[in-house]
């Protein structure tokens, strides 16, 4: 694994350090591999962090503490109470604020010498190249496949390196992609999984301290790239299993058959965010939570007959569920035979907010459940309108 070519430092050294900076960064300055020159490279560096969430939280804090001169933050989301279990850059007082602004304030408290630039937008094909062009290096901590392919392609087109980290429950994956000098994300994963086959953090959960492990490695790679120190993860993928507490490493090579990346595409279509038939199904066969409440009452009296199927994950069902529902996680429906036992029944699907139930509905309609419907707004709407004493998540 030691065959990697030595990469040149990404950033030229900036101005001499001030007395205050020398004191602040002294523990870096006395490491020969960083030293005064390396710290001046960090001071001159412009790093863009995409997502001020799980991975973005530790990444932003460590980049700031290390003395990266300019940090850009791309995020248009607001802080939610359920973020605080892992997104340690935000606090209770930040709930409801823009994550980008909350993160900017936290960086300023930690290191006022850092210049923070906010991009309060959703990254898309119209703005990615423009935003990226102002930075030396990008850290990808987004939470969806479409944005990850967009980040890869924009970085490749501009010849810029980026550090990629991705998490799921107890596991993480990290690599460095730099199309100019080695493999890119498409060489590792040419295609995204079918929509819905991998639960997101919101659906599948994530161990709160997992982002710290993965995010700190991402920053380590960023610092090495900027200063030209050590051996980066370009051409290697690290795989972290926190339950077994084991790191594994595999090689990533350029795919000789891959098409060169020359332009941005429609990433939602590429990743199939919500299949078209699911979108159609969602539009044509949705009921409100009030209608569902009426149907459940009628069923209790024996005046209606249907099966209410909750397609979320078991952990979500445990937090809150609609009385009278049965749990059949969506993956089991999409994979095939979970609906067979309901043959001939009228089916009503629901999930947390309506996206997964629409996908399940489309599968059911294709399987001949013509009268199937799904619940608009899911259990979130149910709690809001029907049983407000129950928890939301």
Partner 1 sequence: MTDRAMSAASSPGDVAGTGSETGTGQSVSVVLPPVLAALAGDRKLLRLPVPDMTTVAAVLDLLGRDNPVLDRRIRDETRAVRRHVNLFVEGEDVRDLDGVSTEIRPGQELFIIQSVAGG
Residue numbers at the binding site for partner 1 (CB under 8 A): 51, 53-56, 140-145, 148, 165-171, 173, 188-193, 197-201, 204, 206, 211, 237, 239, 243-244, 246, 248-253, 255, 335-336
Q: Is 271 one of the annotated active-site residues of the chain?
A: no
Nearer to partner 1, 303 or 337 (CB): 337
Name 73's bridge partners.
49, 118
H/E/C letters for each residue in the chain? CCCCCCCCCCCCCCCCCCHHHHHHCHHHHCCCCCHHHHHHHHHHCEEEEECCCCCHHHHHHHHHHHCCCEEEEECCCECCHHHCCCCCCCCHHHCCCEHHHHHHHHHHHHCCCCEEEEECCCCCCCCHHHHHCCCCEEEECCCCHHHHHHHHHHHHHHCCCEEEEEEEECEEEEEEECCCCCCCHHHHCCCCCCCCCCCCHHHHCECCCHHHHHHHHHHHHHHHHHHCCCCCCECEEEEEECCCCEEEEEECCCCCCCCCCCCCCCHHHHHCCCCHHHHHHHHHCEECHHHHHHHHHHHHHCCCCCEEEECCCHHHHHHCCCCCEEECCHHHHHCCHHHHHHCCCCEEEECCCCHHHHHHHHHHHHCCCCCCEEECCHHHHHHHHCCCCCCCC
Nearer to partner 1, 143 or 307 (CB): 143
> CB of 310: closest distance to partner 1 in angstroms?
18
Q: Which residue has the tokens 């009278």?
A: 324
Q: Point out the catalytic residue in the list 351, 363, 364, 381.
A: 351
> CB of 232: closest distance to partner 1 in angstroms?
19
Nearer to partner 1, 108 or 250 (CB): 250
Question: Given its phi and psi angles, is residue 302 left (phi above 0), alpha (psi -120 to 50 degrees) or beta?
Answer: left
Contact 334, 351 (CB under 8 A): no
> CB of 76: closest distance to partner 1 in angstroms?
14
Nearer to partner 1, 245 or 389 (CB): 245
Closest CA to 342 of 363, 317, 315, 321: 363
> CB of 166: closest distance to partner 1 in angstroms?
5
Q: Point out the catalytic residue in the list 34, 116, 150, 201.
A: 201
> CB of 145: closest distance to partner 1 in angstroms?
5
> CB of 292: closest distance to partner 1 in angstroms?
29
Closest CA to 176 of 168, 188, 184, 167: 184
Contact 368, 272 (CB under 8 A): no
> CB of 204: closest distance to partner 1 in angstroms?
8
Nearer to partner 1, 218 or 308 (CB): 218
> CB of 51: closest distance to partner 1 in angstroms?
5
Nearer to partner 1, 163 or 373 (CB): 163
Nearer to partner 1, 15 or 244 (CB): 244
Nearer to partner 1, 32 or 256 (CB): 256
Q: Which residues are catalytic?
A: 201, 351
């Amino acid at each position: 694994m030691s065959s990697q070519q030595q990469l040149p430092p990404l950033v030229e050294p900036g101005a001499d350090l001030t007395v205050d900076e020398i004191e602040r960064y002294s523990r870096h300055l006395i490491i020969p591999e960083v030293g005064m020159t390396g710290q001046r490279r960090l001071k001159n560096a412009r790093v863009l962090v995409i997502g001020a969430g799980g991975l973005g939280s530790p990444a932003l804090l460590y980049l700031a503490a290390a003395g990266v001169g300019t940090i850009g933050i791309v995020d248009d989301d607001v802080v939610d109470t359920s973020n605080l279990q892992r997104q340690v850059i935000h606090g209770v007082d930040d709930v409801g604020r823009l994550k980008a602004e909350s993160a900017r304030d936290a960086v300023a408290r930690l290191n006022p010498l850092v210049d923070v630039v906010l991009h309060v937008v959703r990254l898309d094909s119209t703005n990615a190249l423009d935003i990226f062009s102002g930075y030396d290096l990008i850290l990808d901590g987004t939470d969806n496949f479409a944005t990850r392919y967009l980040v890869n392609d924009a970085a490749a087109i501009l010849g810029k390196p980026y550090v990629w980290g991705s998490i799921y429950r107890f596991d993480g994956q990290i690599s460095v992609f730099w199309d100019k000098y080695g493999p890119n994300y498409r060489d590792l994963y040419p295609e995204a999984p079918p929509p819905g086959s991998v639960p997101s953090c919101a659906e599948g959960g994530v161990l709160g301290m997992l982002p710290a492990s993965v995010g700190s490695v991402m920053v380590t790679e960023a610092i090495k790239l900027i200063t030209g120190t050590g051996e980066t993860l370009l051409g290697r993928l690290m795989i972290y299993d926190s339950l077994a507490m084991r790191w594994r490493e595999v090689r990533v090579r350029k795919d000789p058959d891959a098409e060169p990346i020359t332009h941005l595409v429609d990433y939602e279509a590429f990743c199939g965010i919500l299949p078209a038939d699911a979108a159609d199904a969602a539009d044509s066969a949705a009921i409100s939570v009030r209608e569902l409440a009426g149907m459940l009452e009628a069923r209790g009296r024996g005046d209606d007959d249907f099966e209410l199927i909750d397609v979320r994950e078991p952990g979500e069902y445990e937090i809150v569920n609609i009385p009278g529902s049965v749990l059949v996680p969506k993956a089991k429906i999409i994979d095939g035979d979970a609906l067979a036992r309901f043959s001939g029944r009228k089916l009503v699907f629901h999930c947390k907010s309506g996206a997964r139930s629409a996908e399940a509905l489309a599968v059911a309609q294709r399987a001949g459940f013509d009268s199937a419907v799904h619940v608009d707004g899911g259990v979130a709407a149910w709690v809001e309108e029907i049983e407000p004493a129950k928890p939301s998540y």
